[in-house]
Amino acid sequence: MTTAADLLTELDSDNVKMGDIKKHAKAIKRDHDLAMELWASEKFSPRMLAVLIMDKNQLTQEVLDGLMADLDAQNMDQRIRIIDWLLANQLMKSKKTIALLESWQNAEQPLQRRLFWYHQARLRWMGKLGFENTPDLVTTLESELASEAPEVQWAMNFTAGQIGVFDAQYRDRLVTLGKDVGLYEDEPVPRGCTPNYLPEFIRIEAEKRGT
């Protein structure tokens, strides 16, 4: 049987490949106690594996509050990668955790607010329309985007982009918001990538999709 000590020895490196982490997760399947042992290491790769083998049924608000507070041990880049990994692999997988996500718009922890907005973006990025909360989200974006914490701003901006691309009735408002706030306007854009700057993101993605 694979133990936490064995895994920590193997994963205690800056060069661990995601494929190796996924391979371990496939073999282990679900083991929440092991996941918590790995999480307690405060190491990036063990925590990425821990996310994959957690039992989502044990992810209560109290447990998630503790996990997110623990992420202070990581630098910002690692913190964001772990929390977004948690969203994709656990929090969007059950009605209970989705309900928690949807309650975090005004959460005290910035990472929880980030996940609220990233969840909203992921709901929309395939072009699905008709969400009842879209008008309120747009109003909140207009009033709060400029002043939010950077890790939350990215997810809010991404949500604004998805709404602007797929829901034409809000497009002009969100393009104006992007111009007024200027978020990511001067950010270098790798070749072949879409800018995060909201007016350009909306223009390019809307033209690409014919929306």
When pLDDT is averaged across residues 76-93 and rounded to a whole number, the result is 96
Whether 201 has a pLDDT exceeding 80, the answer reads: yes
Give pLDDT, residue 2. Answer: 77
For 6-27, the pLDDT digits (tens) are 898 889 887 899 999 999 999 9
109: confidence class by pLDDT, cuts 50, 70, 90: very high
When pLDDT is averaged across residues 181-190 and rounded to a whole number, the result is 96
Which parts of the chain fold into alpha helices (H)?
Answer: 4-11, 18-28, 32-39, 44-53, 61-70, 76-86, 95-101, 110-124, 134-144, 150-166, 171-181, 198-209
Measured CA to CA, the distance from residue 68 to residue 71 in angstroms comes to 5
- pTM: predicted TM-score of the whole model, two decimal places: 0.92
